[in-house]
Amino acid sequence: MVIWGTLISIVTAVILSAFIGPYGLLTLLAVGFGFLFSIHSRIRDVQNDLQQIKQKLGITDTVESAVSNEEIEAELEQGMAMEK
């Protein structure tokens, strides 16, 4: 996908340079900046919407504490003892 995007941008730059001259590359950069700004604003909107959904549902971002190996082994041993 990235290769196709790169090839398309190179071909577009060559075509714009042929028709517009030295301003073709500047035009391509301006359009690229516009696309990046548009994508950034859409991602920000989606993140805000997701945050509002989380707040409405009462979902919090909590970091779970790492369980030590000893605790895991103790739980496994308890499970094995219950199966017998």
Q: Cα–Cα distance between 47 and 75 in angstroms, integer?
A: 38
Buried b / exposed e over 44-78, threshold 16 CB at 10 Å, is eeeeeeeeeeeeeeeeeeeeeeeeeeeeeeeeeee
Domain boundaries along the sequence of the chain: 2-83
Q: What is the structure's pLDDT at 51? A: 92
Q: Look at residue 35 in the predicted model and tell me its pLDDT.
A: 84
Task: Compute mean pLDDT per 10 residues along the chain, 84 residues long, and list them.
Answer: 79 83 80 87 94 89 73 87 79
Distance in angstroms (rounded) separating the CA atoms of residues 55 and 61: 10
| Contact between 4 and 16 (Cβ < 8 Å) | no
